[in-house]
Amino acid sequence: MLVLVTGGAGFIGSHIATALTEAGHGVRVLDALLPAAHTVPPDVAPEVDFVRADVRDPAAVEEALRGVDAVCHQAAMVGLGKDFGDAPDYVSCNDLGTAVLLAAMARGTVHRLVLAGSMVVYGEGRYDCARHGMVRPGPRRVSDLDAGRFEPRCPHCGEPLRPGLVDEDAPVDPRNVYATTKLAQEHLAAAWARAVDGTAVSLRYHNVYGPGMPRDTPYAGVAALFRSALERGESPRVFEDGGQRRDFVHVRDVATANVAALESEAMTGMLRPYNVGSGTPHTVGEMATALATEYGGPAPVVTREYRLGDVRHITASSRRIQEELGWSATVGFGAGMAEFAKAPLRGGRG
């Protein structure tokens, strides 16, 4: 089939385009080449049909959809950003862009969508209290964070909690602007699927890393920030105490998850979410240490700084995607970090 990959010249999108081509599919890429994540011209394979345009441009999207069988929607402004002043840009890029795309798809004949979702829609992950079972901690308090009390406590008894794996049926609780826009994208996709009897899958990516991440931009993920620091000869700066648990998943595994979702017999008239993670949690401190060791130093520095929009622990249960789509991650943490420590980064101008 011919697949339109929005944002297909970006970090994740370019790997998806490669995986689709290797799987025998035709690929058309639509990308605005925003300077925070791209150099110009982009590194696009010659067999890929490339369209430079913004997903918020209705005429360009309409033209890009001609002859397309499915859409893999990756175009988005990512990361926590710098402050709340970024909110209009996030809403415009992510939610308006998705609405323009889905409206064009509803007018045409393309009824299959795979959306780049995110684990940020959950807020905090799963926690268990020894006395009260599974609980949902509230937002962390500034007074606790200032005092270095980073771990959430049971909202009923105040005792320490044990973090676990979050599944797709967990309540959503977006805690920053980016997370709010990613949840809105899912709601828009679900409404579109009902309206046109289409198939929609949201792949809720966990912490994606790998070759081609953008360097030196405040919108990059933590792995790219650490890798950029090492490239400058600086120590990675680890916030809080480094004990934040995450699921670091390699970008090539994310790409094959998209291929599996596009080729699946997804249910019509609804949106089906899937966690996309490695299934093996690691702390942010462990990741920084692994990168610095493989790169050859300098060692990470734990700063005990914090960002109010961050959550403490969020790690994935990827059982659903394994059972329903037959996908599982293949790149282990050690091998992935060893590769990423020496891999080239994307020369963004953010």
Catalogue the active-site residues.
Answer: 178
CA distances from residue 328 to 15, 114, 350 in whole angstroms, order as listed: 17, 17, 33
Write down how long the chain is: 350
- For residues 78 and 11, the answer to whether their CB atoms sit within 8 Å is no
CA distance 48 to 347: 21
- For residues 13 and 4, the answer to whether their CB atoms sit within 8 Å is no
Task: Say if residue 196 is exposed, middle or buried (CB neighbours under 10 Å; 0-12, 13-18, 19+).
Answer: buried
User: Peptide bond preceding 298: is omega within 30 degrees of 0, i.e. cis?
Assistant: yes
CA distance 282 to 304: 18
What are the φ and ψ backbone dihedral angles of 118, each rounded to 5 degrees?
Answer: -155, 150
Closest CA to 278 of 252, 247, 256: 247
